[in-house]
A and B are shown apart, each in its own frame.
Chain A
Amino acid sequence: MKRQIPLVLVLIFGLFMVIQYFIPHESSEWIYEYLLDWITIIGVFALVLGIWSLFKVNYDKISQRKPDRGYSLVLLISLFATMFFGFFAKVDGSWGLHFSTADGLQSYMYRHAYEYIIRPIQSTIFSLLAFFIASAAYRAFRARNVLASLLLAAALIVMLRFNPYLGPLGDYISEAANWLLNVPNLAAKRAIVIGIGLGMVATALKVILGIERSYMGKG
């Protein structure tokens, strides 16, 4: 029963979700909306489980005094501080519960943690990519064979396509870049997208029909 019930549920709901897509009737829409609510509720449970798992893994590292426990400590402090300031805020000189209210969202600590910690950290890390890309491009783009030469030529054309200092040559490069993006790139991407789509249909069918059972924890 432990295996049959999940398999039957997946079969029923999987088939329903496929069929309802083609039935624009009120009752079909109602069940669909009802199921969407269920997915959100299940998703919230997953979120709670995720937070618990994150807490447990890092708490264990600290309690077992593992070498990199300092990072775990920073993570847990940040997690609970952000949650605290997300729920509680100081408004008109007194602390109170302001979850999902205009006052709560304007909380000094909550906003400043975002403005002055998260934003600069994320922007900085992403900006560093420019330097690594420059170094990687210098090392990797060598015309060692025909395929590497084609890749190199395509990269140069796309990078130069909007360069305003190339004079009349710029128009040709721009046209060549458009051709590259709209013909070979498009053909390859379309093939990949269609391949992925067919793969997804095949996997979904395997799950619905009970052939693929790894989601139950066993293969």
Chain B
Amino acid sequence: MTIFEKMMAIDRRWVFLLLAVVVVGTYAISFQIPIRINSEVRTIYEFVDKLKPGEIVYLGIDYDPSNQAELHPMAYAVMEHCFRKNLRIIFCTLSQYGPGMVDAAIKDITDSLKLDKTYNGIDYKGRELVNGIDYVFLGYKPYYALQILAMGQNFRLPFPIDYYGQPLDSRPMMQGVVNYKQVAVVIDLSGGNITDAWISYGQGRFNFPLALGTTGVMAADYYPYLNSGQVLGLMGGLLGAAQYEKLADNPGPAVDGMRIQVFAHLVIIAFIVLGNIGYFTAKRRRAKEGK
């Protein structure tokens, strides 16, 4: 076997090993990489940033722990931005493993919001988030398309009580909030078909502003909806989360994770280039030898 043929047939365990070394190495060595912002994420950030205090954002945490690495930083970035702007959030999950993640995220953000912080030159005083006043968590119900349709009629139809067992009517924040008409924007973070349901059954029927956060591999599927104006913005994968964190001047796990992703991509590209060099050189040699 010539060296070029070897370049085409590297044992996959070497690929795994090198990728693991790069991922662990870039995770262990802390350094920042510049993040470029694209317009799809900027429109979401600017839309949220321009909302008036007290307005309501519906945040759908519609993903499982398998997508946590990509989508959880997005959720944290959006939540912190909304709460610092004194917006109110309706949390809901249409994914069966979602409730535990939402509950934990709310607790984390509640702790973070107690601290005074400065973002983009603006000082935000720390405050205590109050369940039922600053946010409600509706909980989880199966059959996502049905729940999206039902919430369009009244949030109380699928969720007469919230995740914590309190009647929705007893929550001060929900006084006068009937359906999507009282919601300024729906931001759906999802790693599956729930995104399609939000477009078809939610935005298509009730015509509310819809922003999406998806996994990296899904993002390309939603450009037609972005282009048609059905979706106001799109955050794709860890990169989308990192861009939101950067715009919000609140670097977190996404910005931190981007250096790992960039170098992991470089390893993959290096292997692809190596394989192609081997392929073309071996092909040329075979042609010269008249095989």
Q: Which residue of A lies closest to B265 (CB)?
A: A159
The yes or no answer to B27 lying at the interface (CB within 8 A) is no
The residues in A between 63 and 96 inclusive whose CB is less than 8 angstroms from any CB of B are none
Q: Mark contacts of A171-190 with chain B using CB atoms, 8 A cut-off: 1 yes-contact digit, 0 otherwise.
A: 00010001001100110011
Residues of chain A touching chain B, judged by Cβ–Cβ distance below 8 Å, are 21, 29, 32-33, 36-37, 39-40, 43, 47, 100-102, 105, 111, 114-115, 118-119, 122-123, 125-127, 130-131, 133-135, 137-139, 141-144, 152, 155-156, 159-160, 162-165, 170, 174, 178, 181-182, 185-186, 189-190, 193
Q: Which residue of B lies closest to A36 (CB)?
A: B150
The yes or no answer to B36 lying at the interface (CB within 8 A) is yes
Please, which residues of chain A bring their CB within 8 A of the CB of B69? Answer: 123, 126-127
B272→A123 contact, CB < 8 A: no
Interface centre among B227, B267, B279 (most CB of A within 10 A): B227
A123→B224 contact, CB < 8 A: no
Q: Which residue of B lies closest to A159 (CB)?
A: B265
Give min CB distance, A134 to chain B, whole Å.
5
B275→A105 contact, CB < 8 A: no
Given contacts A43-B146, A164-B36, A174-B36, is CB(A134)–CB(B268) below 8 Å?
yes
Please, which residues of chain B bring their CB within 8 A of the CB of A133? Answer: 268
Q: Mark contacts of B197-218 with chain A using CB atoms, 8 A cut-off: 1 yes-contact digit, 0 otherwise.
A: 0000000010000000000000
Given contacts A114-B100, A135-B12, A189-B223, is CB(A163)–CB(B262) below 8 Å?
yes
CA distance A138 to B157 in the complex (A): 51
26 A-B pairs within 8 Å (CB atoms) are namely A32-B153, A36-B146, A43-B142, A43-B143, A100-B161, A100-B165, A101-B165, A105-B163, A105-B164, A122-B66, A123-B68, A130-B19, A133-B268, A134-B15, A134-B268, A137-B271, A141-B276, A142-B275, A143-B279, A143-B280, A159-B268, A160-B265, A163-B265, A181-B223, A189-B220, A189-B224
Please, which residues of chain B bring their CB within 8 A of the CB of A155? Answer: 272
CA distance A126 to B66 in the complex (A): 5
Interface centre among A39, A40, A190 (most CB of B within 10 A): A40
Please, which residues of chain A bring their CB within 8 A of the CB of B177? Answer: none
Give min CB distance, B198 to chain A, whole Å.
15
Q: Mark contacts of B20-31 with chain A using CB atoms, 8 A cut-off: 1 yes-contact digit, 0 otherwise.
A: 100100000000
B34→A139 contact, CB < 8 A: no
The yes or no answer to B149 lying at the interface (CB within 8 A) is yes
Given contacts A105-B164, A122-B66, A127-B69, is CB(A178)–CB(B268) below 8 Å?
no
Please, which residues of chain A bring their CB within 8 A of the CB of B64? Answer: 122
The main secondary structure of chain B at its interface with chain A is: helix
Question: Which 4 A-B pairs have CB atoms at the shortest separation, nearest pair first?
Answer: A126-B66, A138-B271, A122-B65, A122-B66
Please, which residues of chain A bring their CB within 8 A of the CB of B142? Answer: 43, 47
CA distance A189 to B222 in the complex (A): 8
Q: Which residue of A lies closest to B243 (CB)?
A: A162
A119→B68 contact, CB < 8 A: yes
Q: Which residue of B lies closest to A142 (CB)?
A: B279
Given contacts A47-B142, A123-B66, A139-B275, is CB(A36)–CB(B157) below 8 Å?
yes
Please, which residues of chain A bring their CB within 8 A of the CB of B205? Answer: 21
A130→B33 contact, CB < 8 A: no
The yes or no answer to B35 lying at the interface (CB within 8 A) is yes
Interface centre among B16, B265, B268 (most CB of A within 10 A): B268
Give min CB distance, B69 to chain A, whole Å.
7
A186→B10 contact, CB < 8 A: no
Known: A134-B19, A139-B275, A164-B35. 5 other contacts (CB 8 A): A40-B158, A43-B143, A100-B161, A119-B65, A138-B15
